Amino acid sequence: MNNNDTPTQKKKLFIKTYGCQMNSYDTRRMQDILRPLGYEPTETYEDADMAILNTCHIREKATDKVFSDLGRIRPHKEAKEKNGEKMVVAVAGCVAQAEGDVILSRARYVDLVFGPQTYHQLPEMIAQITGAYGKERIINTDFPAEEKFDKLPQENGVNGPSAFLSVQEGCDKFCTFCVVPYTRGSEYSRSAVSILDEAKRLVAAGARDITLLGQNVNAFHGEGSDGKTWGLGRLIRELNDIDGLARIRYTTSHPCDMQDDLITAHRDCEKLMPYLHLPVQSGSDNILKAMNRKHTAQSYLDMLARFRDVRPDIALSSDFIIGFPGETDQDFEDTMNLVEKVGYSLAYSFKYSPRPGTPAANMQNLVREDVKDKRLHALQALLSEQAVAFNQSFVGKTVKVLFDGRQTKQGHLHGRTEHNQAIHAEAPDRLFGQIVDVAVTSAGNTALHGKIVISDDELAA
Ligand code: SAH
Ligand code: SF4
Ligand code: F3S
């Protein structure tokens, strides 16, 4: 055994995170698991002792991206080995789950491949490979019966005032375009007690804004402290009582899982922010059916109306897929009409990309690339117009901003408004992590600019 194997010796851990917020949460938890083994996060892979790519498989070229990043890491690993040192190279996340075998056979220098449901076993996996470094390679893409969340350490290395907290994982919806049910497994909710404990630890470590995460977060149905099953609304009501926590958000919801208790929580819970990300994907009932979304354009609009009833100023956001197989000009028009009716504050739109193993990948009537491009362009122009209009409606008003980011420009901070807009302002560093009144001076489609509204005395304090 050489000195590198001593568990307490400091080692450098590089993790690159792709994809959704659940991967960001998982990355932070991997850091938590590896910290007791002496691994400290580093920003660069060049001199890392362990490099993990935490990957996403949602759209095309996902695997190509992973291989090109692996290719960049490889020479550094080889250089270290020439010096008698080691670099463990690992691929985690949804590409690992979907294409683990391909990765191991195409990239001989990858030591470890593990999926989103097995990263709590990292210490055991690392012990196995470091013992026989270069000989033993591991692939661990099981869906273990044990609860990952029960095995994760209590320590939470939250950095900054905004934190993610996964409450639900996996998906049983099987939308015909989507890989998530295959990469993350079936739907599972954590217990409310473990979530509330984790939320309190996050707050004790400095978090003021918590975003509850799940692929179908509003399908949450965890065991409550009273032994009964709680929905997301009930969970939020309990979180609302945590001292020191100022803001609660949740993402991503599915229109079919909305319960009354969650809608009314937007009326009752002052910490629940006026923002809802509710993806619709398409405004055409034909396409929604082919996507297996199990709702219509009208039932989606009716749902949004119920949110607006209890919280008239709620900011709405969505995801759209353009050019799903069989999408006609009329189907696309239906999507544009739906967008016109809603008026979004923000939205994400993607060209459909066929994913291996999903039902839609075998569908006929593919939409031509140039048609997809044209439609995407038109949709994004409309969404951007709506985002500008929404953001500009705040110019001249004062908003409450949680400053949760430092800008490269000295003396400037950025943060989020209650309506989830990004905002930049000139501000002293001591306001980092604080909620501050900011007068909005200008607004574009992606961010606002403002001036903090506190007296010079307070500023100087
Ligand atoms: N659970 C969420 C979505 C998770 S995936 C929901 O049900 O809404 C995030 C987004 O990626 C989706 O909302 C969808 O718009 C997009 N997406 C998923 N699969 C895709 C595909 N095959 N091609 C293009 N976009 C896709
Ligand atoms: Fe994918 Fe549909 Fe599940 Fe969302 S609800 S994760 S889009 S299968
Ligand atoms: Fe991507 Fe997996 Fe999230 S496929 S979007 S990282 S659940």
CA 119 vs CA 93, 108, 391: distances in Å:
9, 21, 40
Identify the residue whose C-alpha is closest to ligand 3 atom 3.
20
Asked if residue 208 lies in contact with residue 216, where contact means CB atoms within 8 angstroms, the answer is: no
Cα(175) to centroid(ligand 1), Å: 9
Q: What is the CATH number of the domain that holds 29?
A: 3.40.50.12160
Domain shared by 162 and 113, yes or no: no
Domain shared by 322 and 418, yes or no: no
Q: Phi first, then psi: give them for residue 402, nearest 5 degrees.
A: -95, 115
Domain shared by 407 and 343, yes or no: no
User: Which ligand has the shortest distance to the CA of 175?
Assistant: 2
Residue 212 lies in a domain: yes
Cα(170) to centroid(ligand 2), Å: 9
Claim: this prediction has a pTM higher than 0.85:
yes
What distance in Å separates the CA atoms of residue 15 and residue 9, rounded to the nearest whole number?
19
What order do you get walking across the sheet with 247-251 strand by strand?
A: 162-166, 209-213, 247-251
To test the pocket of ligand 3, the residue of 52, 94, 143, 175 to mutate (highest count of ligand atoms within 8 Å of its CB) is 94
Predicted pLDDT at 60? 86
Domain shared by 237 and 264, yes or no: yes
Cα(268) to centroid(ligand 3), Å: 32
Helix residue ranges per DSSP H, 367-430:
369-392
Domain boundary (79, 109, 142) is at 142
Domain shared by 360 and 301, yes or no: yes
Domain shared by 34 and 138, yes or no: yes
To test the pocket of ligand 2, the residue of 173, 294, 358 to mutate (highest count of ligand atoms within 8 Å of its CB) is 173
Q: For the CA atoms of the chain, what is the radius of gyration?
A: 23
Domain boundary (221, 256, 273) is at 273
Predicted pLDDT at 240? 98
What distance in Å separates the CA atoms of residue 428 and residue 409, rounded to the nearest whole number?
12
Domain shared by 293 and 421, yes or no: no
Cα(178) to centroid(ligand 1), Å: 6
* Spatial CA neighbour of 252 closest among 278, 219, 231, 272: 278
Residue 114 lies in a domain: yes
Cα(272) to centroid(ligand 2), Å: 24
Predicted pLDDT at 3? 47
Cα(111) to centroid(ligand 1), Å: 30
Report the amino acid identity of residue 26. D
Q: What is the dihedral of CA 264, 266, 268, 269, to 10 degrees?
A: 140
Identify the residue whose C-alpha is closest to ligand 1 atom 24.
352
Domain shared by 12 and 136, yes or no: yes
With tokens 């939020």, the residue in question is 236
Over 334-345, what HEC string results?
Answer: HHHHHHHHHCCC
CA 145 vs CA 142, 149, 230, 411: distances in Å:
9, 12, 22, 50
Cα(436) to centroid(ligand 3), Å: 34
Cα(178) to centroid(ligand 2), Å: 6
Domain shared by 138 and 15, yes or no: yes
Q: Phi first, then psi: give them for residue 445, nearest 5 degrees.
A: -80, -20
Ligand 3 atom at minimal distance to the Cα of residue 54: 6
Predicted pLDDT at 455? 53
Q: Is residue 119 classed as helix, strand or coil in its secondary structure?
A: helix
Cα(313) to centroid(ligand 2), Å: 27
User: Which ligand has the shortest distance to the CA of 176?
Assistant: 2
Q: Which residues contact 314 (CB under 8 A, 6 or more apart)?
A: 266, 274, 275, 276, 307, 308
Cα(97) to centroid(ligand 1), Å: 17
Domain shared by 180 and 203, yes or no: yes
User: Which ligand has the shortest distance to the CA of 357?
Assistant: 1
Report the amino acid identity of residue 149. F
With a Cβ cut-off of 6 Å, ligand 2 is lined by 171, 173-175, 178, 180-181, 215-216, 254
Domain shared by 16 and 83, yes or no: yes
What distance in Å separates the CA atoms of residue 425 and residue 431, rounded to the nearest whole number?
11
Domain count, the chain: 4
What distance in Å separates the CA atoms of residue 245 and residue 165, rounded to the nearest whole number?
13
> What is the total residue count of the chain?
461
Domain boundary (368, 390, 412) is at 390
Ligand 2 atom at minimal distance to the Cα of residue 171: 3
The full DSSP string for 277-288 is E---B-S-HHHH
Q: What is the CATH number of the domain that holds 235?
A: 3.30.750.210
Asked if residue 137 lies in contact with residue 110, where contact means CB atoms within 8 angstroms, the answer is: yes
Residue 359 lies in a domain: yes
Q: What is the CATH number of the domain that holds 452?
A: 2.40.50.140
For the chain, count helices (H), then strands (E). Answer: 14, 21
Residue 149 lies in a domain: no
Ligand 3 atom at minimal distance to the Cα of residue 95: 4
Asked if residue 250 lies in contact with residue 273, where contact means CB atoms within 8 angstroms, the answer is: no
Q: What is the CATH number of the domain that holds 366?
A: 3.30.750.200
Over 55-102, what HEC string results?
Answer: ECCCCCCHHHHHHHHHHHHHHHHHHHHHCCCCCEEEEEHHHHHHHHHH
Structure tokens at 224: 């409550």
Domain shared by 66 and 12, yes or no: yes
Asked if residue 104 lies in contact with residue 90, where contact means CB atoms within 8 angstroms, the answer is: no
With a Cβ cut-off of 6 Å, ligand 3 is lined by 19-20, 22-23, 56-58, 93-94, 179-180, 183-184
Residue 126 lies in a domain: yes
- Residue 421: domain span: 398-460
User: Which ligand has the shortest distance to the CA of 293?
Assistant: 2
Residue 402 lies in a domain: yes
Q: What is the pLDDT along the chain (461 residues), one digit of tens a residue?
A: 444 555 567 999 999 999 999 999 999 999 999 999 999 999 999 989 999 999 999 998 888 899 999 999 999 999 999 999 999 999 999 999 999 999 999 999 999 999 999 999 999 999 998 777 667 888 999 887 667 888 888 777 777 899 999 999 999 999 999 999 999 999 999 999 999 999 999 999 999 999 999 999 999 999 999 999 999 999 999 999 999 999 999 999 999 999 999 999 999 999 999 999 999 999 999 999 999 999 999 999 999 999 999 999 999 999 999 999 999 999 999 999 999 999 999 999 999 999 999 999 999 999 999 999 999 999 999 999 999 999 999 999 999 999 999 987 889 999 999 999 999 999 999 999 999 999 999 999 999 999 999 755 566 66
What distance in Å separates the CA atoms of residue 230 and residue 265, rounded to the nearest whole number?
13
Residue 335 lies in a domain: yes
With a Cβ cut-off of 6 Å, ligand 1 is lined by 58-59, 177-178, 180, 215-216, 252, 254, 279, 281, 319, 321, 350, 352-353, 355
Cα(41) to centroid(ligand 2), Å: 32
With tokens 């470590």, the residue in question is 205
What distance in Å separates the CA atoms of residue 406 and residue 412, rounded to the nearest whole number?
7
CA 319 vs CA 56, 89, 372: distances in Å:
17, 33, 16
To test the pocket of ligand 2, the residue of 22, 59, 174, 352 to mutate (highest count of ligand atoms within 8 Å of its CB) is 174
Cα(129) to centroid(ligand 1), Å: 35
Ligand 1 atom at minimal distance to the Cα of residue 177: 22
Residue 1 lies in a domain: no
Report the amino acid identity of residue 75. P
Q: Which residues contact 277 (CB under 8 A, 6 or more apart)?
A: 251, 252, 253, 317, 318, 319
Predicted pLDDT at 458? 66
What distance in Å separates the CA atoms of residue 1 and residue 268, rounded to the nearest whole number?
60
The DSSP output letter for 303 is H
User: Which ligand has the shortest distance to the CA of 349?
Assistant: 1
Ligand 1 atom at minimal distance to the Cα of residue 254: 7
